[in-house]
Structure 1
Amino acid sequence: MASGYRFSEYIPPQGNEANFESLLKIFLQLVTMTSGDAAEALSWMSSLDKQYNLTSDSYGMGDFIDDLRKKGYLQENPEDGSMQITAKSEQSIRKSALEEIFGKLKKGNEGNHATPHTGIGDEATTDRREYRFGDALEQISMTDSIRNAQVNHGLSDFMLTEDDLEVNESEHKTQTSTVLMIDISHSMILYGEDRITPAKKVAMALAELIKQKYPKDTLDILVFGNDAWQIEVKDLPYLEVGPYHTNTVAGLELAMDILRKRKTGNKQIFMITDGKPTCLKEGIHYYKNSFGLDRKVVNKTLNLAAQCRRIHVPITTFMIASDPYLQQFVEEFTRVNNGQAYYSSLKGLGHLVFRDYRRNRKKTF
């Protein structure tokens, strides 16, 4: 029986299902921008509908909201009856961010960071070699080893020695632990430019990418303003900018604490920010200076960059700004850490983060 592919004419979805899918894409974008506020996102959608006729007489905004409930994207808060997104919506937002930012990537098999080294690994190859002390029993190729024993000792007095053993070679696969630092200081929404939404999308896309393609890697996410604290991936859609200064020191200290607990060989920090460090915490008080690169704040930040270098943790800084005033600090910070820095527009941020993640995960720092 012949096998192959049968091609037929593509018929796009019709009716309500097509309308729902197109509206869902808009809703997921808006709910990200509203930090998970479903009611505000739907209000924006209603305004857009009036302006651009998103719905039709056969499928209105009320039908769409009903379908969001039925399909598990929306639920009522039992306490106050307000609408809120569900875990299904949160996952859809991450997948949508992944498609938007890394949509041109091809899917790959599960795995870790490939290296040129062979040994005790989890990726089998077609190569064979002699047995070495410490090789796992499951690596031994019994067929090849028995054949060697027959050739070396004959069939009449069969015996199997260590010299007869052959093992299936395997490749080392490295694992990488990444901490992603996101600046949530007030400047991330200053001057009418929304910088926090692209940062959230990049974090969600990176998390979904690691989950799908590199499941043995770890990604920890923290945010920093006056202080720094760790958040879960599921918290990202709800992330908001606060009336904060930029305490980069607190962020780096927390990132280093997280990475100390990780047992992987490769560790790295990605930092998405749009400004200079302007804050330190001294005891219960905050030392702040928003007007310039205060040497007291800068020196403490550079000291941490040097500490990261000594423990082989490179820092890649993604500066969402092109202010020449900041470049001197970023260049000094990068030189002290021996890391990398990029001055990125909001549009190109995701591609830069992915490119560096993929490149760094192939290194042994």
Structure 2
Amino acid sequence: MGADQVSGYGRRYRYGRWQGGADPLAPPPDLRAALDELGREVMEGSSPAAALRELLRRGLSGTRGLDELTTRLWQRRSEIQRRNRLDGTLQEVRQLLDRALEAERRELFPDPSDDARFREAQLDALPTGTAAAVRDLAEYDWQSAQAREAYEEIQRLLGSELMAQRFQGMKEALRNAGQQDVERVRRMLADLNDLLAAHASGEEDTEQRFQDFMRQHGEFFPENPSNVEELIDALAARAAAAQRMLNSMTAEQRAELAELSQQAFGDSGIGQQLAQLDSMLQGLRPGEDWSSSGRFRGKNPLGLGEGAQAMADLADLDGLAEQLAQSYPGARLEDIDLEALARQLGPEAGVDVRRLAELERQLRDQNLLERAPDGSLRLTPKALRRLGETTLRRIVAGVRSRRGDRDSDRAGSAGEPTGSSRAWEFGDSEPWDVSRTVRNAVLRTASTGGGEVAIDVEDVEITETEQRSRAAVALCVDTSWSMVQDGRWVPMKRTALALHQLVRTRFRTDALELITFGRHATTVDIGELTALEGAWEQGTNLHHALLLAGRHLRRHPDAQPVVLVVTDGEPTAHLEPDGEAEFNYPPLPRTLAKTLAEVDGLAKLGASVTVFMLGEDPKLAAFVDLVARRSGGRVVAPDPDGLGAAVVGDYLRSRKRRG
């Protein structure tokens, strides 16, 4: 029910039956769920346009996708051909003919006259073919009233079926038509052919002529066309379906039907008018399918009108399948014929497509998808923020419940070095300043005249650290092919997305740099990283990534330096002075040396390097352990599903130490 009128001071409403369209009580499309699906596809390497197509194909909870609707279309198409056959009219004519002959013989049998015997001989000599027998009986003087009625019913049946082939809903209207009704049909056909001929010639404006025609004969056209072109479209579609039905019959069936059709309307002239109409429609709409056929193998006989409707349904189903596929240039969900879809699959199918179209529209209208300068579709910053919120929420939920991580504090740091040291006091957790501690032990031992140097508690000095309120964070993520191949690509992207969202929303003073490294390293924004496609490329150039990380840290000298590295392989490439990357596997000593030199350079800036090691490579484990020791950092070995929680947790831990 829906309100259709408001009146009066008390705002009274008048309610009426809902007339279709979008359900006003239906919940709005779940944009967040849709965006999650889009984001997952994009992070797996799909373009946003392809991800949107995949979303529409699969659908969402409570809304069937285009693939399921297409499957139902093909099932219905198969059912039509599997259940039916096309010789229903021929069978019905044969039954009427047999009934007429049986009634006539019953009437003649008790009559002892020679005339009765002659008539029986005439009946016995009839051709075996139905059409030929009906033709030969055209001048026969029936003695049985019941037989005459059955024979005349053949002519009425053929006429109504032939008209129903071309005009929807005509079968029942003409089955019991009298002579006056036949004349009305003949006049309509004559006027229709005149109208179409005038329109085809282009010599006059037929708009007024069309209006006059519809006022006089509109009852024959339930499609209610609004102009001549729509009238031609409707007639041609039906006539083409009738022709495809004939094409689908056997040659014998077509011959029988052709001969019967000549007798359908007697000398009323309707047959000639229909032949003229068919010829004109083929000329006006040559693009219609006039030549194909279908294979019907069922047991349910269809009459000519029903057969033409079945062929029209098959054409509808084929057209809808093409529309649902959305595979042609410029395809849009608005192209789908919702009336035809509801007619074939029921009203709920139309509702599903309307909801998908509304979802697509809202994704654009709410600024979640946009066109890039090159014309491609991409996620907007707003969409990336929403994806980041969802990803971060899921990852933070797992920060406290990570399992299977192996956290190695092989060379940890409790704060950020200031360059000075002080004597150790009870409760201090900062790292020792080893060189000053040893020097103090040596000096103390020398001053007391002792021989062997032994470290005492009073010798220990610790590195002074300070808490900084702002951080410069460089997240370096491995984008070599092994990350894609071993299922680490999407977790890596989710990790970056979550960290970016966390920094952007909760720690806005922190400066985050996203750095990808394969054969070369490069800085990217979150949109570029989210849409990044995996590519076959050999090389893990951590050296170049750390160079870019150091540049970022030096741009923020007042911030605490934090370097996070996500990788699944030891360095196999380094950057030469000319900017070219040198790759080699197994790694060259020069590659490892250059990479570790950058680690030392970051340590001088006060940055510890935390490495998130993916995989079980022993050589990688040995290398990252060395990195951690030389930088005062840590090694964390999460599984791919726990990567995001590990990185975000480490970042939050460092924030807690600073706070």
Q: How many residues align?
A: 282
Out of 44, 48, 52, the residue aligned to residue 38 of structure 1 is: 48
Is residue 2:528 matched to residue 1:240? no
2:482 to 184, 187, 197: 187
The CA distance in 2 between the partners of 1:188 and 1:209, in whole Å, is: 24
Contact 2:500-2:526 within 8 A present in 1 as well: yes
Counterparts of 1:77 and 1:302 in 2: how far apart (Å)? 40
Task: For residues 175-203 of structure 1, give each alpha carbon's deviation from its aligned partner in whole angstroms, at most 9, with x where no partner exists.
Answer: 1111111111222112xx33222112111
Aligned to 1:17: 28
- Structure 1 residues 288 and 105 mapped into 2: Cα distance closer, same or farther (>3 Å)? closer
For 2:575 and 2:373, how far apart are their aligned partners in 1?
Answer: 39
1:26 pairs with one of 26, 32, 37: 37
Q: Which of 606, 609, 618 is matched with 1:324 structurally?
A: 618
Q: Decide whether the 8 Å contact of 2:369 with 2:383 is kept in 1.
A: yes
Matching residue of 2:550: 256
For residue 369 of structure 2, the aligned residue among 62, 68, 74 is 74
Cα 1:293/1:51, change in 2 over 3 Å: farther
Partners of 2:54 and 2:62 in 1: CA distance: 12
Q: Write the distance in 1 (CA, Å) between the matches of 2:374 and 2:567.
A: 36
| Structural mapping, 1:1-365, within 5 Å | 15-34=26-45, 37-49=47-59, 54-55=64-65, 57=349, 58-60=351-353, 61-77=356-372, 80=375, 82-103=376-397, 174-190=469-485, 193-242=486-535, 243-282=537-576, 283-290=578-585, 292-363=586-657
The residue type equivalent to 1:322 in the other structure is E
AA matched with 1:238: A
- Taking the aligned partners of 2:473 and 2:617, their CA distance within structure 1 comes to 27
SS of 1:63's equivalent?
helix
- In structure 2, the CA distance between the partners of 1:45 and 1:280, relative to structure 1 (3 Å rule), is same
Report the alpha carbon displacement of residue 300 of structure 1 after superposing the two structures with TM: 1.7
**1:62–1:194 Cα change, 3 Å:** farther
Change (3 A) 1:189 1:73: same
| Paired amino acid for 2:396 | F
Tell me: CA distance 1:89–1:306, structure 2 relative to 1, closer, same or farther (3 Å): same
Q: CA deviation at 1:249?
A: 0.6
Aligned in 2, Cα 1:75/1:336: closer, same or farther, shift over 3 Å?
closer
Gaps of 5+ in 2: 1-24, 66-347, 401-414, 416-466
Q: CA deviation at 1:353?
A: 0.8
In the superposition, relative to structure 1, how do residues 52 and 289 fare at CA in structure 2: closer, same or farther (>3 Å)?
A: farther
The answer to whether the Cα contact below 8 Å between 2:399 and 2:649 also exists between their aligned partners in 1 is no
Per-residue CA deviation, residues 307-355 of structure 1 (Å, 9 max, x unaligned), is 2223321000011212233211121222122211111211101111112
Q: Distance in 2 between matches of 1:202 and 1:326?
A: 21
**Structure 2 residue identity aligned to 1:68:** L
In 1, the alpha carbon distance for the partners of 2:625 and 2:522 equals 26
The CA distance in 1 between the partners of 2:599 and 2:373, in whole Å, is 47
More strand by share: 1
Contact kept? 1:196, 1:240, Cα under 8 Å? no
Q: Deviations over 1:13-54 (max 9, x none)?
A: x7341544433332232233235x122112332443499965
Which string of whole-angstrom CA distances, capped at 9 and with x for unpartnered residues, describes residues 124-179 of structure 1?
Answer: xxxxxxxxxxxxxxxxxxxxxxxxxxxxxxxxxxxxxxxxxxxxxxxx86211111
Provide the C-alpha distance between the structure 2 equivalents of 1:279 and 1:188, rounded to a whole number of angstroms. 16
Per-residue Cα deviation, 1:94-150 (whole angstroms, up to 9, x for no partner): 2222122124789xxxxxxxx9xxxxxxxxxxxxxxxxxxxxxxxxxxxxxxxxxxx
Q: State how far apart, in whole Å, the 1-side matches of 2:390 and 2:595 are.
A: 35
1:91: Cα distance to partner?
2.0
Q: Could you tell me how far apart the structure 1 residues matched to 2:60 and 2:648 are? A: 38
- Structure 2 distance, partners of 1:208, 1:75, is 21
Q: CA deviation at 1:221?
A: 1.2
Contact kept, 8 Å, 1:226 with 1:279, in 2: the verdict is: yes
Measured after TM superposition, the shift of residue 89 of structure 1 is 1.7
Contact residue 561 and residue 605 of structure 2 kept, 8 A: no
Residue 205 of structure 1: how far off its partner (Å): 1.0
More helix by share: 2
Amino acid at match of 1:326: L
3-state DSSP of counterpart to 1:332: helix
The more displaced of 47-56 and 247-256 is: 47-56
For 1:310 and 1:302, how far apart are their aligned partners in 2? 13
CA RMSD of aligned residues (A): 2.9
Q: Residues 104, 336 of structure 1: CA spacing in aligned structure 2 closer, same or farther, 3 A cutoff? A: closer
Change (3 A) 1:20 1:219: closer
User: What letter is aligned with 1:179?
Assistant: A
Cα separation, 2, equivalents of 1:97 and 1:351: 10
Letter in 1 for 2:526: V
1:152 maps to what in 2?
Answer: none
Shift in CA distance, 230/19, structure 1 to aligned 2, threshold 3 Å:
closer
Q: 1:59 to 1:78 in 2, by over 3 A?
A: farther
Instruction: Pick which of 308-317 and 50-59 moved more.
Output: 50-59
Amino acid at match of 1:24: L
Q: CA deviation at 1:271?
A: 0.6
Taking the aligned partners of 1:212 and 1:78, their CA distance within structure 2 comes to 28
1:204 is matched by which residue type in structure 2? L
Assess if the C-alpha contact under 8 Å between 1:19 and 1:59 holds in 2: no
